[in-house]
Amino acid sequence: MEPCIARIEVQMETANRKPETANRIIRGLLCLGAVALLGLVSCAAPTTIEQDYGRSVRNNQAQQVVNPRAALDPSPAVGLSPTAAAYQMERYNKSFKGEEKKGLEMKLTTPTY
């Protein structure tokens, strides 16, 4: 009986090897496909966001520079009168002392029959 058992064991071992090699081939093909997909994505044309990248920052900086030689001017800056500035600061500070804003309320009701 032992030769039959040995033959069955050999057949089981060879049967178990076939799916392992198939799995290796499938994994290899999936990896190759992923690498090819990454290669194609890297060759894509730049988007409009990438083409405009940084322009908004440079535009905002340029708009903030009204008079680049203002630091060399010794005259004081022109602004609000002291009374108007004090009034504006008072209004600003009062805006935080107002009543607390209520959060979102949810009322659940059941119909009465």
Q: Please give the average pLDDT of every successive group of 10 residues along the chain, which has 113 residues.
A: 57 60 85 86 72 81 78 80 90 80 70 72
Q: Specify if 112 maps to a domain.
A: no
Q: Does pTM surpass 0.95? A: no
Query: Domain range for residue 38?
Result: 1-44
Q: Specify if 86 maps to a domain.
A: no
- Residue 55 CB: number of other CB atoms within 10 A? 9
Q: What is the model's pLDDT at position 1?
A: 47
Q: What is the model's pLDDT at position 113?
A: 67
Q: What is the model's pLDDT at position 31?
A: 87
Q: Specify if 52 maps to a domain.
A: no
Number of domains in the chain: 1
Sign of the torsion angle spanned by Cα atoms 32, 33, 36, 37? negative
Q: What is the model's pLDDT at position 26?
A: 87
* Residues 6 or more apart in contact with residue 79 via CB below 8 angstroms: 85
